[in-house]
Structure 1
């Protein structure tokens, strides 16, 4: 999951820009963690402690109210009831990477991804997005090839992964939907040569760069067997004590070989 957090932080300063190059400062002094990180860590904590995810989502929202959440999530987190709000947004996919590590077979990963997604994003496209990213993380960490991952995602979820990033990049807009963001984020991983290149490739799409790189980074960490030490140190230097402690606990329990 730290790969997802690294992607979120690296992409945070380029969100909404026309970033169309892989040549940029990976961690500028302005980089921060966003809601992508906060809600990913909330899910990791739920898996570690058994705290209901709805409770954790609202608790973490109160702890980090200015992390950059979307309007629908803001309203949901402040409500007394906890009914899902039918979202198809990419928030379903940005926070799901811990599921790909925590469970030991693909069908359980898909079931758990559905459950953790539909507490807010109960639109079919939201559920599909969460499941697709969790499945990609699981397949990557269980040593499936990129072609096997691509084939599974295209077959099971009908996402078109045929276009290369070089083909996608020029016209890729700011898009917060699962439909518009997950295929490019997965393709960024497929086209990468190592973890850092995966993050740079995702950010080079422009648009919703923190979420794109968060999704890509979660898969890339699993496939490449971790993240470079210098990037890991930078991530922990940016996270606060609470987020850092939960991330380290989850990594030590689920992500160390």
Structure 2
């Protein structure tokens, strides 16, 4: 797969997963079991047309677009503000489904707080709002050393979610994404990603948080039962659920539908799953009818092309 298609795969795969989950966000697993999502739907929870993506994709695209001009935390933060205030990179000109932690950080940014000080730092601020948008950082893997890549991942998380737990969840996710970009299959990428990140997270700085990652870091998340997988908006739940869905499926469609049908934070679980799954399976294996229904499809393709050029792939 060419690097251009890997960039497009990740961005489109995340976005399609997000759009699949939007209409049924906040519904229970029992509801999804009775009436599972099998195709791109519309309306529902947010009363928006089929193919409408949420803040997950918007902020991912804001980050990716900022990276097209190089790495600047100020530029990334201002892009987030433009999204919230000016509907920049919204699916249909409307912002919806904004997490409280992200909102508070963007308010801080507007008031001139530096990006690395804008994000919430309390333990209660560990929602999935930075994990859902962090994927584009993985595309720097050939330009930066691994430690530099993870350092920048932490910094970008801190713009909205500055607690160590959120930073580490993003770091683990990016480490696994890099292994997928380097050609590993999902299970190998999971194991390799954990191995690569271990040197960083074995540092005493992270010791107080490691217990929260026990199930992920065991290397055995795939063996857990569906009943033991949570799909709330808590960052640990989203990381675990997305890896579980990726590792217990054999196609892009199966992975993201599994994520949506876990219920609760359906759009984010599917977006985080979809970014990884599409890198592995390729954009050509995302159902074409889903891509055709996605809002601003051509703009997403253009963004992927621009990001590929700036990274000199």
Which residue of structure 2 lines up, in the alignment, with residue 46 of structure 1? 66
Query: 1:172·1:206 contact (CA, 8 Å) conserved in 2?
Result: no
Q: Please state how far the C-alpha of 1:180 moved relative to its aligned partner.
A: 1.8
TM-score, normalised relative to structure 2: 0.71
Equivalent in the alignment of 1:250: 307
Question: Which one of the candidate residues 74, 85, 103 is aligned to 1:62?
Answer: 85
Give the whole-Å Cα distance in 2 for the aligned partners of 1:217 and 1:22: 21
Cα distance between partner residues in 1 of 2:168 and 2:148? 15
- Mapped to 2, the partners of 1:206 and 1:110 lie a distance apart of 30
Q: How does 1:1-257 map to 2 (within 5 A)?
A: 1-18=11-28, 19-20=32-33, 23-30=36-43, 31=50, 32-50=52-70, 52-64=75-87, 66-79=95-108, 80-82=111-113, 83-86=118-121, 87-104=125-142, 106-154=146-194, 156=198, 158-161=213-216, 162-164=220-222, 167-168=225-226, 170=227, 172-173=229-230, 175-226=232-283, 227-228=285-286, 230=288, 231-235=290-294, 238-239=295-296, 245-247=302-304, 249-250=306-307
Q: Matched residue of 2:127: which SS?
A: coil
Q: Distance in 2 between matches of 1:88 and 1:149?
A: 25
Larger Rg: 2
1:246 is displaced (CA, Å) by 3.0
Shift of 1:25: 3.5
Counterpart CA distance in 1 for 2:229 and 2:34 is: 13
Give me the CA root mean square deviation.
2.8
CA contact (8 A) 2:179 2:193 kept: no
Q: Deviations over 1:140-193 (max 9, x none)?
A: 11112333222245553645243548812x355552111122111111111111
Gaps of 5+ in 2: 1-10, 44-49, 88-93, 202-212
Cα distance 1:252–1:49, how it changes in 2: closer, same or farther (>3 A)?
closer
